[in-house]
């Protein structure tokens, strides 16, 4: 089993497998795998699931990071499908450790993996844990500092987004959901919880999995002392109509899956404000196509239109 060793370092809280799903992301892999290799975490297993890349991601990784196990799917299974391939692989061999789902467009500073796994393993009620995630281009500013889900409103957002980290709460705390950008799972949880829902075409899979964890009695811990840097929206574009359309569709699917029908009358009203506010913000900033995509995505999901 390939591993990254660092002799002389005290034992870590658990074995750790890091799963990185890649699709034509060769330009990000050097930073991602380089940071993991230098993370200072012993017994670290690295797995790249390549979703049918047509660039040289596989050849480059094989040459420059032979410690990385590569699973080639031959097609783009997207985030959920690619991760599920790795989860099945780990379950089949009864891997005993923690599993970190990590975006390929990330950088993990030294010590972060240890702090994150310690937070997870020191609290038996915690089934998943998340680090503080900052913009790679502006590391002093947070992109994710916990996930918030409005239980009656259905409003879903990152806590602390775009705020300076020096003004944020440094203490670990329980949160409503963990982002799939960097989501650590307790040993054995995947066997109990099952796979990620691949019916979410793009976005929403992480919130769905988090809500399933909480519905089953688990907690999600946010560990601000663990840090990940994220090259945000490198794959789709930060405000592209396509991205916004996909996000709206996934948002509506998430509400229909997890919110009971008795709450739908109130939910319908709150979503008018939620989606309307997003559309208005894009319109004010001169992005007419993106504003329309917010509303079109919601309508297309309600009507069950094909992707």
Domain boundaries, the chain: 16-230, 241-303
Strand pairing class (44-50; 68-72): parallel
Evaluate whether 83 touches 181 at the Cβ level (below 8 Å).
no
57 in Cβ contact with 29 (< 8 Å):
yes
Instruction: Please calculate the CA angle 53-59-65 and round it to the nearest 5 degrees.
Output: 115
CATH 3.10.450.50 fits 16-230, yes or no: no
Best CA proximity match to 47, nearest among 73, 9, 8, 24: 73
Query: From residue 140, how far is each of 82, 169, 215 by CA, in Å?
Result: 31, 14, 34
Cβ burial 94-123 (10 Å sphere, 16+ → b, else e): ebebbbbbbbbbbbbbeebbbbbbbbbbee
Quote the CA–CA distance of 297 and 39 in Å, as a whole number. 40
Tell me how far apart the alpha carbons of residues 59 and 24 are, in angstroms, rounded to a whole number: 12
Angle (CA) 204-209-214 rounded to 5° is 125
Q: Is the dihedral of CA 245, 246, 251, 253 positive or negative?
A: positive
Burial of 263 (0-12, 13-18, 19+ CB in 10 A): middle
- Tell me which DSSP letter residue 167 carries: G
Tens digit of each residue's pLDDT, the chain (307 residues): 444 444 444 578 999 999 999 999 999 999 999 999 999 998 899 999 999 999 999 999 999 999 999 999 999 999 999 999 999 999 999 999 999 999 999 999 999 999 999 999 999 999 999 999 999 999 999 999 999 999 989 999 999 999 999 999 999 999 999 999 999 999 999 999 999 999 998 899 999 999 999 999 999 999 999 999 999 854 444 578 999 999 999 999 999 999 999 999 999 999 999 999 999 999 999 999 999 999 999 999 999 998 8
pTM for the structure as a whole: 0.92
């Amino acid at each position: 089993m390939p591993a990254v060793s660092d002799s002389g370092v005290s034992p870590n809280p658990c074995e750790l497998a890091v799963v990185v799903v890649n699709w034509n992301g060769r330009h990000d892999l050097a930073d991602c795998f380089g940071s993991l290799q230098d993370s200072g975490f012993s017994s670290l297993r690295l797995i790249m699931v390549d979703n049918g890349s047509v660039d040289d991601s596989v050849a480059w990784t094989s040459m420059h990071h032979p410690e990385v196990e590569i699973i080639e799917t031959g097609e783009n299974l997207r985030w959920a499908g690619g991760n599920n391939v790795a989860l099945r692989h780990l379950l089949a061999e009864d891997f005993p450790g923690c599993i970190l789902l990590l975006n390929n467009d990330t950088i993990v500073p030294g010590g972060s993996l240890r702090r994150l796994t310690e937070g997870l393993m020191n609290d038996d009620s915690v089934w998943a844990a998340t680090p503080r995630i900052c913009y790679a281009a502006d590391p002093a500013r947070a992109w994710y500092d916990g996930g918030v889900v409005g239980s009656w409103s259905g409003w879903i957002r990152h806590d602390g987004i775009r705020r300076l980290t020096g003004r944020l709460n440094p203490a670990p705390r329980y949160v409503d959901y963990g982002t799939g950008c960097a989501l650590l799972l307790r040993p054995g949880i995947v066997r109990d919880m099952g796979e990620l829902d691949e019916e979410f075409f793009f976005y929403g899979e992480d919130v769905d999995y988090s809500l399933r964890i909480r519905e089953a009695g688990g907690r999600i811990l946010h560990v601000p002392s663990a840090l990940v840097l994220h090259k945000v929206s490198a794959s789709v574009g930060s405000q592209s109509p396509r991205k916004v359309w996909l996000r709206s569709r996934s948002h509506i699917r998430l509400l229909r899956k997890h919110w009971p029908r008795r709450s739908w009358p109130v939910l319908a009203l709150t979503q008018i404000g939620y989606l309307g506010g997003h559309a208005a913000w894009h319109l004010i900033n001169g992005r007419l196509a993106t504003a329309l995509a917010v509303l079109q995505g919601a309508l297309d999901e309600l009507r069950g239109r094909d992707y």
